[in-house]
Amino acid sequence: MLEFNYKALPWNIIFGAGTLQTLPQEIEKLGFERAMVLTTPQQQSAGEDILQLIGTKGAGLFSEAKMHVPAQTLESAKSLADEIKADCTISLGGGSTTGLGKALAAQKALPNIAIPTSFAGSEMTNIWAVTETDRKVTARDEVVVPTLTIYDPELTLTMPVGFAMVSGLNALAQAVVNVATDKPNPIVASMALDGIRALVSALPRIKADPDDIDARAEALYGASMAGAALGTGSTGLHHKLCHVFGGTFNTPHAETHAILLPHSVAYNAAATKQGTQRISEVMGVDDAALGIFELAGTLGAPQALSEIGIKESDLDEAAAVVTEQSFNNPEPVTTDRVRLLLQRAFEGLPPEAV
């Protein structure tokens, strides 16, 4: 018998090529007067363009956003927000910049306008994080959901193809874990499945033609649906693994997801038969875990933890940290089985139930 709970998040989305140009009128509608623009150092000049676009509504630019929101970066951003008397933030960038906007919303009650330029999907979730020394701490809070998200696919055109592929696989992970579950939620799964369909269709087209704006738009939509699924759904072993590698070993976020996803799907396959079958159908493959592994290979994404700076001697510690606290997962999580999974992922072997 079907049984589920569902609570929507307060999404407010404008989606379409060229919609960045609506930003000044949207700020006016929302009544903000002193926006602080956030970017990474790599996207500083795009942040300066935003300041120019919004004219007198721009109060300043903080261009030091970093992966996983280091506590020190958050403190520097808070100081600048005080100094320039910001009344909102505008995050222009990937998940790192969106993440800084969300942390400022949580800790300084600053409303955030998200303008995503990667396929991270963070703008659709209520999950925010701060990293203190080498431990990343995450929490869910509706207050971090952006007041407005402007999805302009043209902004993703500057994303290098290699990063676009792993970023898309990061989005795929958010959708996949919400279908390959033993507690399916039909509303969450419908968003997730449409996200998977869009991403699986669009990513190979972007790889073949990086300037294909229709494919970029479809991938951005897919990322949005995947983020929506993560925001209203749940996580398990896969996200725990990625969280530990990112927080403890400082691995690049999207690549870590791309490498581990096939293995975590295989790990849970026995307990999630219906869900993995639905993923296989949408992907047009026989086996979801292997299909994802092969897709990642076709897209040229890294497939081994050894490729992203992990040493074989790190695997014992990683398996121990992953299993030191209990968390929900369809299959029982044991240190021995996680260590076996990690060995396959380290070597870049095809996924197998361990």
Task: List residues near ligand NAD by CB under 6 A.
Answer: 40, 42-43, 67-68, 93-97, 99, 117-118, 120-122, 125, 127, 129, 155-156, 158-159, 163, 167, 170, 230, 253-254
CB nearest ligand NAD: which residue?
95
- Closest approach, Cβ 131 to ligand NAD, in A, equals 8
Q: Looking at beta carbons only, is 301 or 340 nearer to ligand NAD? A: 301
Return the bridge partners of 249, or none.
none
Beta strand 112-116 with 88-93 is parallel
Q: Looking at beta carbons only, is 88 or 258 nearer to ligand NAD? A: 258
Beta strand 58-62 with 35-38 is parallel
Consecutive H or E run containing 116: strand 112-116
- Closest approach, Cβ 50 to ligand NAD, in A, equals 13
- Closest approach, Cβ 287 to ligand NAD, in A, equals 26
Q: Looking at beta carbons only, is 95 or 275 nearer to ligand NAD? A: 95
Query: Which of 277, 276, 308, 280 is closest to 294 using CA atoms?
Result: 280
Q: Looking at beta carbons only, is 243 or 278 nearer to ligand NAD? A: 243
Q: Looking at beta carbons only, is 169 or 189 nearer to ligand NAD? A: 169
- Closest approach, Cβ 129 to ligand NAD, in A, equals 6
Consecutive H or E run containing 140: strand 135-140
- Closest approach, Cβ 344 to ligand NAD, in A, equals 24
- Closest approach, Cβ 187 to ligand NAD, in A, equals 18
Q: Looking at beta carbons only, is 39 or 329 nearer to ligand NAD? A: 39
User: Residue 171, SS3?
Assistant: helix
- Counting runs of H as helices and runs of E as strands, what totals does the chain give? 13, 8
Query: Which of 47, 62, 57, 46 is closest to 24 using CA atoms?
Result: 57
CB 207, CB 300: distance < 8 Å: yes
- Closest approach, Cβ 128 to ligand NAD, in A, equals 6
Whole-angstrom Cα distance, residue 253 to residue 270?
A: 27
DSSP states along 334-348: -HHHHHHHHHHHHHT
Q: Looking at beta carbons only, is 67 or 105 nearer to ligand NAD? A: 67
User: Residue 41, SS3?
Assistant: helix
Amino acid letter, 93: G
- Closest approach, Cβ 277 to ligand NAD, in A, equals 26
Give the phi and the psi of residue 148 in degrees, each rounded to 5: -150, 140
Burial 138-162 (b: 16+ CB within 10 A, else e): beeeeebbbbbbbbbbebbbebeee
Tokens describing residue 11: 């999404």
Q: Looking at beta carbons only, is 202 or 254 nearer to ligand NAD? A: 254
